[in-house]
Chain A
Amino acid sequence: MLKIENLSTYLYTEDGLLKAVDKVNLEIRQGETLGLVGESGCGKSMTALSIMRLIPTPPGRITCGKIFFDGKNLLDLEEKELRQIRGKRISIVFQEPATSLNPVWKIGDQIQESIMTHQKKTKPAAKKEVLHLLNLVGISFPEERFNDYPHQLSGGMRQRVMLAMAISSKPDILIADEPTTALDVTIQAQILDLLIDLKKRMNMSVLFITHDFGIIAEIADRVAVMYAGRIVEIAKTEELFRQPLHPYTKALLDVLPKENIKSFKSIPGEVPHLADLPSGCYFHPRCKKTLDICRREFPKMEKSDKDHWVSCWNPNVSIKESYSNWRNKR
């Protein structure tokens, strides 16, 4: 569906060169939900913005790589062609609905505008469509809500409006960048249910960005784990939780509070600053299984079984072993 090859997005700042996204390879398949997890500052959102070509320039620049969608490389497209895709065939929902809606426009008009630009519909037809969409995302009394301003709605309602806008053009891919982080748990549950439902109805692929493994476990089909601008592991969700290969993934999963365990395991140290990355594998200073080679060279992505990729010199289960496990299972 969407294929990212060797994508690098660098930020040229006063602190020096920040490799926000560094040689990322990723694909989003037809009809799947791909989860992208990592801690703050690891480049999750920058990856999403790169796909949409919304990187603020300067300081940011996509320095190399290709993003294939529908046979075309998005990075080669002219702005005019890009508009046929961005917001139309690939939509995005941001984390903070309060800042991504225009505060001085009625919400109905905002959704209507997006329909009119992308689908060349007349105003009355677009309005009808808006009411239908508001209904679809679970906003009651759409006719009245149409004339509300964003500040009159609660956080959960605003996120529903954002979703209505994102799906208005029936996109092939929806990028959801931490859509529930700013919301309460009970509202989060509502929005997640809505998202799962919409995905089925509209037959979309979803790139779901989050830092919460709980949400990943509930909605993602496959997961990519990011650390300091690089993807370190990609696997099917069940496989990743059952047998995480990268020490970072394992540590992240161990950190989660579990029943019957009365204390947390923690990961020593902190995420390195992007301007000051360690040599070799970026995770080696915090890793329990560091080898000599980890300090010198960044490991390549290796395939451990059909759908499980890891970039580590010394994974939790050796790649050979994991591969034979997989073969035996079959």
Chain B
Amino acid sequence: MKNLLEAKNLRKYFPIERGFWRKTKAMLKAVDGVSFSIGFKEALGLVGESGCGKTTIGRLILKLLEPTSGAVFLENEDIFKKTTNLNLAEEIQIIFQDPFSSLNPRLTIEEIVGESLIFHKRVRTRQEKRKAVGELLQKVGLNSSFIGRYPHQFSGGERQRIGIARALALRPRLIIADEPVSSLDVSIQAQIFNLMKDLQEEYNLAFLFIAHNLEIVRLFCKRVAVMYLGKIVEIASSDSLFQEPLHPYTQALISATPVADPTVKKKRIVLKGEVSHSIESFSGCPFHPRCFKAIPLCSKVIPSFEEKRDGHWVSCHLVNGK
């Protein structure tokens, strides 16, 4: 299958500068050798705890950050190549987590949603813009008469709809959804979730769905990647990931998610300690200090990322191959 987007060995290190001369003391390895692909119309989930580099990956793909090394291909075209004539904004768009800070409070909804239409010359006159924005608002379930209002006149769920309309304006092929529902109430989460699902069908969108809530990712995505400290530790179809998680971190993550059913008395795997800093240099598997299955080998050798089951990639010494 041909892929829409392919990331190859992507790295992003941030220098930690200290002291008067701003000397680089250490490197924070936010993303450390990550490879994955997203097919056409596919939703790939990206889960992990805060600080594991999920958002940095999103920003790299949007070219908001330059990678330290590695490449991202959009249909065989390297997006970081200087000579590219690819117009990235027309291909990839983003929906942000916080609908309160991601909309300019001084602009009307028409300006917020229509800005990119003007810039990319999709519309020529004001009437055309109005019409296009009105249609977009209807698509995301808002009344098109809201066009002259300002963001503060909307609730959180409605603002997130505006954010989605803005992302849709240029008809991109890939949308990066960076925790799009985690700041919303449960009843609103479901509405936004269903909306995104409908739009995915209608516009043949591919999604990179960044989240920390496993249940939502499970419903939305066919494939899921689990990140820990800048590395992807496991990628699999969501069915096989949830039925048979191979990496101990994924197992712990799944068992730590509370289940809304008091009759289920499950044994929780409670991890010791916290995510260590990605600055600290350590040898071996990044997860070994917290791992409940660690063997001496884990602290010495970095496990390679291998396909251990059909389509199920994992980097762990303890998982036997096919």
A270 and B186 alpha carbons, distance in the complex (Å): 11
Residue ID in chain B nearest A240 by CB atoms = B262
Alpha-carbon separation in the docked complex, A227 to B312 (Å): 44
In the bound complex, CA of A243 to CA of B219 (Å) = 25
Kindly state the separation between the CA atoms of A253 and B274 in the bound complex, as whole angstroms: 31
Query: Does chain B have a CB within 8 A of A306?
Result: no
Q: Give residues 159-196 of B contacting A (CB, 8 Å).
A: 185-191, 193-194
Cβ–Cβ < 8 Å partners of A157 in chain B: 274
A133 CB to nearest chain B CB (Å): 20
* Proximity bits, A249-262, B CB within 8 Å = 1, else 0: 00111011100011
**Cβ–Cβ contact B257 & A185, under 8 A:** yes
* Complex contact A218–B216 (CB within 8 A): no
Inter-subunit contact B270/A190 (CB<8 Å): yes
B274 to chain A, nearest CB (A): 5
Cα(A271)–Cα(B158), bound, Å: 12
CB atoms of A218 and B258 under 8 A apart: yes
Q: Tell me whether A264 is interfacial, beta carbon within 8 Å.
A: yes
- Which of A59-67, A170-178, A207-215 interfaces with chain B? A207-215
Contact yes or no, A263 B215, CB < 8 A: no
Asked whether B120 is an interface residue with its Cβ less than 8 Å from the other chain, the reply is no
Question: Do A186 and B49 touch (CB < 8 A)?
Answer: yes
B271 on the interface (CB 8 Å rule)?
Answer: yes
Whether A267 and B190, one on each chain, are in contact in the complex, defined by CB atoms closer than 8 angstroms, is yes
Contact residues in B for A216 (Cβ distance below 8 Å): 260
The answer for the CA separation of A241 and B263 in the assembled complex, in Å, is 9
Residues in B26-47 with C-beta less than 8 Å from chain A: none
How many interface residues does chain B have, given as a range? 35 or more
Could you tell me if B262 and A186 are in contact, using CB atoms closer than 8 angstroms?
no
Taken together as a complex, chains A and B put the C-alpha atoms of A263 and B262 apart, in Å, by 23
Give CA–CA (A193, B270) in the complex, Å. Answer: 8
If the complex has contacts A185-B212, A257-B215, are A266 and B194 also in contact, measured as CB distance less than 8 A? yes
Tell me, in angstroms, the Cα distance from A267 to B185 when the chains sit together: 11
Q: How far is the CB of B63 from chain A (nearest CB, A)?
A: 28
A70–B158 Cα gap in the complex (Å)? 46
Partner of A184 from B50, B157, B187, B215 at Cβ < 8 Å: B50
Whether B259 contacts A217 by the Cβ 8 Å rule is yes
B256 pairs with A213, CB closer than 8 A: no
Residue of B nearest to A268 (CB): B191
Bitwise, A190-222 to B at CB < 8 A (1) or not (0) is 101100000000000000000111111110000
> Is B130 engaged at the interface, CB distance under 8 Å to the other chain?
no
Q: A257 contacts B49, CB within 8 Å? A: no
User: Hey, what's the 0/1 contact readout for B259-293 against A, CB within 8 Å counting as 1?
Assistant: 11111100010110011000000000000000000
Q: Does B253 contact A (CB under 8 A)?
A: yes
Residue of B nearest to A140 (CB): B273
**Nearest CB in chain A: distance from B83 CB, A:** 42
* Cβ B274 vs Cβ A156 within 8 A: yes
Q: Given B49, B186, B212, B270, which contacts A255 in the complex, CB threshold below 8 Å? A: B186
A187 to B155, CA, bound (A): 30
- A148 at interface, CB cutoff 8 A: no
Whether A217 pairs with B190 at a CB distance below 8 angstroms is no
A contact residues around B268 at 8 Å (CB): 189, 193
Do the beta carbons of A217 and B194 come within 8 Å of each other? no
- Name the residue of chain A whose CB is nearest to the CB of B183: A40
Given A185-B212, A265-B190, A271-B185, A237-B274 contact (CB < 8 Å): no
Contacts A188-B256, A217-B259, A241-B262; is A266 near B49 (CB within 8 Å)? no
Whether B308 sits at the interface, judged by CB under 8 Å, is no
Instruction: Indicate whether A238 reaches chain B with its CB closer than 8 angstroms.
Output: yes
Known: A255-B187, A263-B194. A190 touches B271 (CB 8 A): yes
A189 to B269 CA separation, bound complex (whole angstroms): 9
Q: Is B131 an interface residue (CB 8 A)?
A: no
Q: Say yes or no: A266-B190 contact (C-beta < 8 A), given A189-B270, A257-B216, A271-B185.
A: yes
Query: Assuming A237-B262, A257-B218, A262-B219, is B186 touching A186 (CB within 8 A)?
Result: no
Task: Report B-chain residues with C-beta under 8 Å of the C-beta of A263.
Answer: 194, 197, 219
Which of A190, A211, A252 has most chain B Cβ within 10 Å? A190
B253 / chain A contacts, CB cutoff of 8 Å: 185-186
Q: Enumerate chain A residues within 8 angstroms of B50, measured Cβ to Cβ.
A: 184
B190 touches A264 (CB 8 A): yes
C-alpha gap A216/B268 in the complex (Å): 15
For the complex, is A154 an interface residue (Cβ under 8 Å from B)? yes
Least distance between B261 CB and chain A CB atoms (Å): 6
A39 within 8 A of B: yes
Q: Is B118 an interface residue (CB 8 A)?
A: no
Residue B4 CB within 8 A of the other chain: no
Among B197, B256, B257, which residue has the most Cβ atoms of chain A within 10 A? B256
Q: Are B187 and A252 in contact (CB under 8 A)?
A: yes
Among B212, B255, B258, the residue within 8 A (CB) of A212 is: B258
CB distance from A270 to the nearest CB of B (A): 5
Q: How far is the CA of A131 from the CA of B185 in the complex (A)?
A: 39
Q: Mark A18-29, 1 if CB is under 8 A from B, else 0.
A: 000000000000
Contact A238 B260 (CB under 8 A): no
In the assembled complex, the CB of A32 is this many whole angstroms from the nearest CB of chain B, namely 14
Select which of B49, B158, B185, B214 is within 8 A of A40 by beta carbon: B185
Answer whether residue B252 sits at the interface, using C-beta atoms and an 8 A cutoff: yes
* Shortest Cβ distance from residue B318 to the other chain A in the assembled complex, whole angstroms: 19
B256 and chain A: residue at smallest CB distance? A189
Interface string of A153-181 (1 = CB under 8 A from B): 01011000000000000000000000000
Listed by A's residue number, 23 A-B pairs whose Cβ atoms lie within 8 Å are A39-B187, A154-B274, A156-B274, A185-B49, A185-B212, A185-B253, A186-B252, A186-B253, A186-B256, A186-B271, A188-B256, A188-B258, A189-B256, A216-B260, A217-B259, A217-B262, A238-B263, A241-B262, A251-B187, A255-B190, A264-B193, A265-B190, A266-B194
* 7 residue pairs, one from A and one from B, having the closest CB atoms: A214-B258, A266-B190, A264-B190, A189-B256, A213-B260, A267-B187, A184-B49
